[in-house]
Structure 1
Amino acid sequence: MDDRNLYAGDLYGELALSEQVQPRGPRSLRGFLPGLLLVGVTSLAAAWLSDHYGMPVVLIGLLLGLALNFAASDKSTHSGLDLLAREGLRIGIVLLGFQITAAQIVDLGAGTFVLLIGIMAMTFAAGLIGAKIWGQSRYAGILAGGATAICGASASLALFAVIGRERLPQAQLAMNLVAVALASATAMAIYPVIAVQIGLDESSAGFLIGASVHDVAQAIGGGFSISDTAGREATIVKLARVTMLAPIVVLVSLWIGSADKGQASKMPFRRLALPWFIVGFLALVAANSILEIPTAVTGAALSVSKALLLLAVTATALRARTDLMRALGWRAFMPVACASLVSFVCAILAAIALGM
């Protein structure tokens, strides 16, 4: 691999210097504090703006993080930002398991679930094809297709943890997050209007929203903006998509491992290297399906999960190098645009078929 491609994803030269610097031991809280304070204040500002102006909080966190990322030129902030961007996101994904049960998937029905899987497969493929058409790497296509097919920013960050920044520049991740957030915000505003205008019944409209809007909160909000029935259907369909996060991360791990020369000779179970946060996510889904978890616990877990996602997204934006993002250009947005378009077309055709 060309060294320039390797270091393109390196934010401040840590990879380039890694051979000269000895691994550091455990850090004290003081070492993390500057970065934690920076991302905390930025995220609070995003939450305030979202509450007062009605914009998606993840999108505002992204934009504020990109606008203020000059503050991350101070290396004392790096440890705290990296901690939240990496571990904060992973814990947030684990806690998301409290929102899903096997019963919710069963409630969809086998036919509807198979239809939903087909839409997700077409969306994922569109991300890969869009990346190829617009001259992006297949890893960019995996990131775009997975984020659009599953659950937006959470899926982007989870898949990037598997792909690794040695294969895909972190600037591409930041571009993907911005594109997904913009697409999701647009979908939440437009798709409910389209569903009503074409005369979909409430259940079919809920399916359309749940099957095509990327972000969980915006999918649920878009459904309930039509009716309670549409909102409940959108919630179940969207959470069914979220359950596919773990299987898709597993498949991507196997795919990447089989494509790497150093990994191809290993047995599949050795190449899998399933991330711990996916194991934790599955464990909580299983527990939530078997046990009766108090509503207060699941509600608190959802709030913490959303807060950690906001912190992770904001930290990622603060650490992104805007010069590398500019170098990527508008083409870096196109895989998400292609995947979003295919997702909507497939979902609306399926919703019309279900309403017949």
Structure 2
Amino acid sequence: MAADLYGEMQLEAHPPARHSARDYLHGVLVTAIAALAAAWLADHYAVPLVLMGLLIGLALSFLSQDKRTHAGLDLMSQTALRIGIVLVGARITAAQLVDLGPLPFALLVAIMIAVIVITVASARLFRQDRHAALLAGGATAICGASAALALYSLIGDKRVDQARFTLTLVGITVASALAMTLYPVLAAQLGLTDAQAGFLIGASIHDVAQAIGGGFSFSAPAGEVATIVKLTRVALLAPMLMLVGLWLARSKDDAAGKARIPLRLPWFILGFLAIAAINSLVAIPKPVTDGAATAAQALLLLAIVATAMKARLHLLLDQGWRSFAPIIVATVTSFLLSLGGALLL
């Protein structure tokens, strides 16, 4: 595989300058079929969609040994991901940040930064690579699998290999599913108000749908607060990616070659910001924003499935228990800091 600062993550070590449509066909078809199967199973058996996509993708990883699938899998894991991130911007408006209020917003930003910093700092304690810890911390702090995919497109597989990345995806997805079940119960046991519970759940659960679902499982008012808090975290995806890109570019201990790489803002971050800005300034019809949100979810699912299919299972199984340490640290830190923030409201 080859990779650069913006995560080429390609199965083809030396891809041709141009591909024909037929070159993409096999990889795109198997990814689409696997994604449809994941969506059907998730819908009928109440399993998190991302987790089902990962499991099916891993089960079909043997297909990536067929060179005919390489171009299509690369397309789905890269281009589909980036377009999906752009479309996520349709869910964001400046009004959401205003509705949250200055204190909750400041607490949320502080929590997100602290989760990433503490997770990266803990990497040495568990003898883990700091880039892998950055991936786990950033994904936990922002929006789970979507953020992990976006971060990996910056970090690249020369810093974090494909097996470790897939393991991180699985870990944060399972952690988010458990959090959706446990956090509302813990909030009730702690006697939190609707506003406090909504902040706790929205600020600490990774996945958007699970954060919103967890909030409404506590109460309708808590669900509304959790929705605003969670979408604010999503809105901070682009600034966080910009900071990570800057850090990687300035790093003197760069795993990709110890070279200072000039910072280039990826087009999908610019697209995300542009869509969010348009959505804030212009009243986009709800059917359009709903359609964009559905398309974003579909494209991100395709990217997750393709990424899992590209993983090497034998390398995944070689990862020890310490590989989960950054995910555990990030999840626990996120919960405790979010709880502390909720108690201040």
TM-score by length of 2: 0.93
Calculate percent identity across the aligned residue pairs. 53
1:274 maps to 2:265: yes
Q: For residue 328 of structure 1, report the CA deviation from its aligned partner.
A: 2.3
**Which residue is equivalent to 2:114?**
122
2:194 aligns to what?
202
The residue that corresponds to 2:248 in the other structure is 256
| Residues 11-50 of structure 1 aligned to structure 2 (within 5 Å) | 14-15=12-13, 18=14, 24-50=16-42
Q: Do 1:97 and 1:284's aligned partners in 2 also have CA atoms closer than 8 Å?
A: yes
Structure 1 segments unaligned to the other structure (5+ residues): 1-5, 265-270
The answer to whether the 8 A contact 1:250-1:272 is kept is: no
Q: Which residue of 1 aligns with 2:255?
A: none
Q: Distance between the aligned counterparts of 1:33 and 1:332, measured in 2?
A: 35
Aligned residue type for 1:147: A
Partner of 1:113: 105
Q: Cα offset for 1:295?
A: 0.4
What is the DSSP-based 3-state SS (H/G/I as helix, E as strand, rest coil) of the residue aligned with 1:132?
coil
* Counterpart for residue 171 of structure 2: 179
Q: Report the counterpart of residue 142 of structure 2 in structure 1.
A: 150
Q: Contact 1:69/1:318 (CA < 8 Å) preserved in 2?
A: yes
Q: How far off its partner does 1:288 sit?
A: 0.6
Pairing 1:289–2:280 present: yes
8 Å contact from structure 2 (residues 9, 74) kept in 1: no
The answer for unaligned runs of 5 or more in structure 2 is: 253-257
Partner of 2:225: 233
**Superposed displacement of residue 308, structure 1:** 0.8
Contact 1:100 1:288 in 2 (8 A): yes
How many aligned residue pairs are there? Answer: 337
- The question of whether the paired residues in 2 share the 8 Å contact of 1:11 and 1:320 is answered with no
Tell me how far 1:327 sits from its aligned partner: 2.1
SS at match of 2:124: helix
Q: Deviations over 1:233-292 (max 9, x none)?
A: 11110111111111111111111111144327xxxxxx2211100000000111011000
Measured in 2, the distance between the counterparts of 1:298 and 1:251 equals 27
Tell me, what secondary structure is at the counterpart of 2:283?
coil
Cα displacement (A) at 1:12: 8.9
Match of 2:327 in 1: 336
| 2:311 counterpart of 1:311 | no
**Which residue pairs with 1:3 in the alignment?**
none
Matched residue of 1:178: which SS? helix
Deviations 1:170-213 (A, max 9, x none): 11111110111011111111111111121111111111110000
Tell me which stretches of 4 or more aligned residues in structure 1 moved more than 3 Å: 9-15
Q: Tell me if structure 1 keeps the 8 A contact 2:84–2:300.
A: yes
Alignment CA distance shift 1:203-1:69 (3 Å): same
In structure 1, the partner of 2:184 is 192
Q: Tell me, yes or no, if the aligned pair for 2:196 and 2:343 is still in contact at 8 Å.
A: yes
What TM-score, normalized by structure 1, do the two folds share? Answer: 0.90
Q: Is the 8 A contact 1:97 1:281 kept in 2?
A: yes
Question: How much is the aligned-residue C-alpha RMSD, in angstroms?
Answer: 2.0
